[in-house]
Amino acid sequence: MAVSSPRDKYSAVWLIFFMLGLGTLLPWNFFMTATMYFTSRLKDSSLVDSSANQTEAAGEHRSVLEAKFNNVMTLCAMLPLLLCTCLNSFLLSLVPQRVRVMGSLLVIMFVFIVTAIIVKIPMEPLPFFSVTMVKIVIINSFGAILQGSLFGMAGLLPASYTTPIMSGQGLAGSFAAFAMICAITSGSELRDAAFGYFITACAVIFLSALSYILLPKMEFFQFYQEKNRRQRSNEEPNSISLMNGESTDAADAADAAAEQPKQQNVSMMRIFKKIWLLALLVCFTFTVTIGTFPAITADTKSTLADGGSWELYFIPVSCFLLFNLCDWGGRSLTAVCMWPGKDSAILPVSIVCRVVFVPLFMLCNVQPRLHLPIFFHHDGFFIVFMILFAFSNGYLASLCMCYGPKNVLPHEAETAGSIMAFFLSLGLALGAAISFIFRALV
């Protein structure tokens, strides 16, 4: 007789997954939105000796490290993310879930503590650039392990429990952008504001770790974990007996054990065949997004600015905050609306059509530029493009991530979730690589 699942009291498990989703992307978003702080420390000292002309000189003569920071930062983030998400498929069976999740959160928190300390330590531009990139590699490597584990865990639960992860990840960007705007508004020195900014990140990651500690105590989560264990234990004797040919001979058993990795690979391929289209769609979605944001969008200048406050807030508000709020809105909408369906042709067509945003952003006032003319002069065009670009990214990617684990059998859902997370990371890495080409074309 089927046992009915317990109720998620007070939506506690939903909220914990939301908090863990927040913890997975918060570190990267805090680094990405702190570009003003990082680039200010990469300025060529020979260009900024004269305080009277500091702003003008810095604007006209950016150092090589300052000019390449956004592209190199994105690449250093996305390649480790891809490699470690791939590695996570093997870690799934070798390293306990608790070690993967808690270990990743603690390492990320340690990196942010180090980042906050470095704010107060004087460093030359090149060592500072190198140390920053190493930290970005570390947080995204462990962030990938955390993300893959999280989507795997969510795959065991009902489909709606992928939404809080995607929604939490969307809020991570909004939270980071809002924190940076508050830091600018405070009027503090940039380094003092950055110190408070990174300490805030440490506090949020600490809360994510506390949330995960509570998760195994939840009856709702325990039920689905136990259900998954029972399904796996029922499968294992069947697969062993098939491989052994019902033999109990010790040599045959040894042969069966040797065959298990091969069977696992076949199983993963079988699962991939069921979700390949959704996996490729989520990959393409993020390739377009990361190829454009922030490499092109963060270099867009306001055409209305004449040294006033709007110039100071244009990128933090119109680029980072607006993108993350609309992305979060798109991800969260899947909690109440999941259209089009997983088998509808509208879903792939909508995702492919997003490629139009690449030339649209290129033709905005991106500076410096060498090849393309400026077609969309007014800031309003950039803002409208950003709203549509961000919302479509959040909504369509979240749909794919929700549908993926539900296209397979219940006991295959955790592996399907990990495969989807891998293709999400592949999209991020491809976007990071292609962003160099997109930026060079401008």
Percent over 90 (pLDDT), the chain: 29
Q: Is position 350 within any domain?
A: yes
- For residues 352 and 284, the answer to whether their CB atoms sit within 8 Å is yes
| Segment 119-163, tens digit of pLDDT | 989 999 899 999 999 999 999 899 888 888 888 888 788 877 888
Report if residue 51 sits inside a domain: no
Domain count of the fold of the chain: 1
Most confident of 154-158, 167-171, 213-217, 283-287: 283-287
Give yes or no for a contact between 399 and 392, defined as CB atoms under 8 angstroms apart.
no
Q: 394: pLDDT confidence band, cut at 50, 70 and 90?
A: very high
The arithmetic mean of pLDDT across residues 274-293, rounded, is 94
Q: Between 55 and 200, whose confidence is greater? A: 200
Instruction: Write the DSSP assignment of 394-432 as a string of letters.
Output: HHHHHHHHHHGGGGS-GGGHHHHHHHHHHHHHHHHHHHH
Domain assignment present for 385: yes
Q: What are 29-59's pLDDT values in tens digits?
A: 888 888 778 888 887 655 444 443 444 444 4
Please check whether residue 172 lies inside any domain of the structure: yes
Q: Which domain holds residue 384?
A: 12-45+63-227+263-441
Q: Is residue 238 part of a domain?
A: no
Q: Is 147 exposed, middle or buried (0-12, 13-18, 19+ CB in 10 A)?
A: buried
**Lowest-confidence segment of 227-231, 372-376, 378-382 by average pLDDT:** 227-231
Give domain status of residue 240, yes or no: no
Whether 356 and 206 have beta carbons less than 8 Å apart is answered as: no
Model pLDDT, residue 45: 53
In a domain, 173, yes or no: yes
Binned at pLDDT 50, 70 and 90, residue 64 comes out as: confident
> Does 243 map to a domain?
no
Position 305 pLDDT exceeds 70: no
Return the minimum-mean-pLDDT range out of 14-23, 64-73, 231-240. 231-240
Cis peptide before 6 (omega within 30 of 0): no
CA dist 44 and 366 (Å) reads 22
Instruction: Specify whether the CB–CB gap between 165 and 397 falls below 8 A.
Output: no
pLDDT for res 237: 57
- The better pLDDT of the pair 300, 39 is held by 300
Instruction: Extract the tokens encoding 62.
Output: 């950016």
Report the predicted TM-score, pTM, of the whole model to 2 decimal places: 0.73
Question: Rounded CA gap, 128 and 134, in Å?
Answer: 10
Residue 373 pLDDT > 90: yes
For residue 398, give the CATH number of its domain.
1.20.1250.20
**Contact criterion met (CB below 8 Å) for 220 and 16:** no
Q: What is the CB-side half-sphere exposure of residue 340 using CA atoms within 13 A?
A: 12
